[in-house]
Structures are given as structure tokens and as C-alpha cells.
Amino acid sequence: MLQEIAPHVLNNQYDPDAKVQQDSILFFFRGSELLCKKNEDEIVLPRASEFKDIEDAVYLFSFDGTGCFLPHETPDASDGYAYRDIRVIRKTGNASQHFMFAAFTAYQLSHWYSVHRFCGHCGTDTIRSEEERAIVCPVCGQREYPKIAPAVVVAIIDPEADKILLTKYAASRGAYPYYALVAGFNEIGETLEETAAREVMEETGLEIEDLHYYKSQPWGIVDDLMIGFFCHVKGSREIHMDTAELREAVWLSRDEVIPQPDNYSLTNEMMCLFKDGKEPCIAR
Ligand SMILES: [Zn+2]
């Protein structure tokens, strides 16, 4: 999965005292576009020694012991550098997995800082906390922490037919062309178990039982924390697909499961476990 980057280490603990060093890595974002060096076989990010006047950059995290920072000003792309969309970099596959995990994590933080420049309560310019990774309003004291949106991923298994329910997203959800599992965001006031049951019912019309937690995954683009469950279908196997969310929902045998083209997602790991007959035992 995307975050499994050993032996590399991304330490996301915030250090308010961290200062830019000559070898610090700089993440210059313009939206989801990231400044990279040109003409490298692998994606390479600029170092602080290549730029002037970036002492006041925001500390993001350390990567293999090197500090990574978010400068306030973004330079124009110039000789030797180009802005590249991190979603395109992911698809073209010329970046290592540890780079992609660092880039997606940095992007989430960059986006969070950029949309919290003003207090949502009173409109005053916000400032960064000097103690922790937080943005505070100097007038009313409103305090904001990085946004994390929990979302469930649900592998529904029919134990009698030995099949799994796979879906393909509708165009309104990005028309991702590969098979996926039922997934959706947790609502306020809802347990994760209730989210799983509701999303499965909304998208497929099926009831579930024997919900079994598997793993979680931080997922970079829309602030998700994916929480994966295996479960059994309960009662009728007849699918009533929500066409606003899905364009396909089918029961497939282990042989028929077609994995996604990369190993980044928790969804793909769960699909592959079923395909290989290695899914966790689901207590009934
Ligand atoms: Zn305020």
C-alpha cells in the first residue's frame, strides 16, 4: 500500500522549532502541481541550497531524517524545474512509492494551510500555532487542526457462492476504470459499522453482517483515512445498484477478480487477498 515505504521512514511528528537547512527538501505546490527537477530519470525535488530567502518555510515532516518544508512563495517554473501534477505522476509510474507517499502527504498539508488563511468564525487572518500543527485565530481563538475524513472500504463476501462484490465508479466519482469495493465517507453521528452498512445498502441494496475490521490507510487526495472491513452478505444476494454512484456492481469468483494496476490502495490489497484465498477469517 502507498504508506508501506520501509526501509524509508516518513516521520510526520510536527516540530515547531525545525529550521530550514541547506539540504532540506522543498515542496513548492501550485494546487496539486509540485515543482520537480527536469530531466531526471526519477522525480527529484529541489533542495533549500538551490533557492534564496526561504528561511520562514513551514515545517512538514522529516523523510529519512531530512527536513521537508513548505515555502510561502512559489517560484515560476524556470530552467531545470517544472510543475507536475502529483496525480499524473502517480499514473505515469515514474516515481517511487516512497516519493508518492511523501508527495501526497505534503499535498494534504499544503492544501490544508492554503484553505485556512482566514478564520472561518470571524474572518481574521490566521496565524500558525507556535506549539503544535494547528492554525489559530489571534482574535477569537478559533483553532483548526489538519482535516482527516474517515471513510470505509467494504469487501462483501457471499460465503455460499464463494464470491465477492466488486464495483466500478460512475463518471460522477471520477470514472476510475478498474474494479473497486464499496466505499464511502463516515457521517457525523455515525459509527464506522453504521457507515459500512449504510454505504453498502445505498450503493447495492444489500444487507451485511459479521463485519470484521482489517486495516486502515491514510489516502492523500481528499484527506481520507480509509478503514477497511470484510463482511458477509445477509439475506438476498440480488443487487440494486445506485446508478448515481456506480456504473457496475457484480458478484465475482476468486478467478474473476482483476486487480488494480498498482499496489497503492487498501482496496486493491483487500481484493487481492480474496483472489488469492487469503482474506481474514470472518467470525460468524
Ligand atoms: Zn476568529
Residue type, 149: A
The pLDDT tens digits of the residues spanning 22-46 come to 999 999 999 999 999 876 667 789 9
| Count of domains observed in the chain | 2
Establish if 88 belongs to a structural domain.
Answer: yes
Count of CA atoms in the C-beta half-sphere (13 A) of 95: 26
Cα(54) to ligand 1 centroid in Å equals 28
Same domain? For 170 and 251 the reply is yes
Q: How far apart are CA 74 and CA 77, in angstroms?
A: 9
| 129 Cα–ligand 1 center, Å | 14
- The burial of 184, by beta-carbon neighbours within 10 Å (0-12 exposed, 13-18 middle, 19 or more buried), is given as middle
- In this structure, are residues 105 and 220 in contact, taking their beta carbons and an 8 Å threshold? yes
pLDDT value at residue 254? 97
Query: The C-alpha cell of 164 is what?
Result: 465477492
Identify the bridge partners of residue 208 per DSSP, sorted by sequence position: 233
**In terms of domains, do 154 and 271 share one?**
yes
CA 127 centroid distance within chain: 26
Distance 264 CA to ligand 1 centre (A): 39
Last residue of a domain, one of 62, 90, 115: 115
- Find the 119 Cα to ligand 1 centroid distance in Å: 5
Distance (Å) from CA 282 to ligand 1 centroid: 48
Residue 50 CA to ligand 1 center (angstroms) comes to 37
CA 249, 254, 256, 262 dihedral sign is positive
- Quick one: which of 72, 69, 19 has its CA closest to 47? 69
> Which CATH number characterizes residue 264's domain?
3.90.79.10
Distance 145 CA to ligand 1 centre (A): 14
Across-strand partners of 85? 33
**Rounded distance between C-alpha atoms, residue 200 and residue 194, angstroms:** 10
Distance 118 CA to ligand 1 centre (A): 8
Residue 262 lies in a domain: yes
C-alpha of residue 166 to centroid of ligand 1, in Å: 46
User: Residue 138 domain-assigned?
Assistant: no
Q: Which domain holds residue 110?
A: 10-115
Indicate whether 202 belongs to any domain: yes
CA distances (Å), origin 94, targets 35, 40, 97, 276: 15, 10, 10, 28
Query: Which residues does the chain have with pLDDT short of 70?
Result: 39-41, 93, 173, 175, 220
Using the mean position of ligand 1's atoms as its centre, give its distance from the Cα of residue 126 in Å.
Answer: 8
- 141 C-alpha to center of ligand 1: Å? 6
- Cis previous bond, 7, omega within 30: yes
Hey, how many other C-beta atoms are within 10 angstroms of the C-beta on 254? 13
Measured at the alpha carbon of residue 69, what is the angle toward residues 51 and 124, in degrees to the nearest 5?
105
**Which pLDDT does position 39 carry in this prediction?**
67
Single-letter amino acid code for the residue at 25: I
Q: Taking the CB of residue 250, how many other CB atoms lie within 10 A of it?
A: 14
Task: Decide: 63 and 102 in contact? Cβ < 8 Å.
Answer: yes
Beta bridge partners of 148: none
Give, for 168, the enclosing helix (H) or strand (E): strand 163-169
Is 242 inside any structural domain? yes
pLDDT attached to residue 40: 64
CB-based contacts of 73, cutoff 8 Å, min separation 6 = 54
Cβ atoms of 81 and 38 closer than 8 Å = yes
Whether 157 and 264 share a structural domain: yes
Same domain, 195 and 267: yes
DSSP label at residue 41: S
Q: Are residues 153 and 270 in the same domain?
A: yes
| Residue type (1 letter), 271 | M
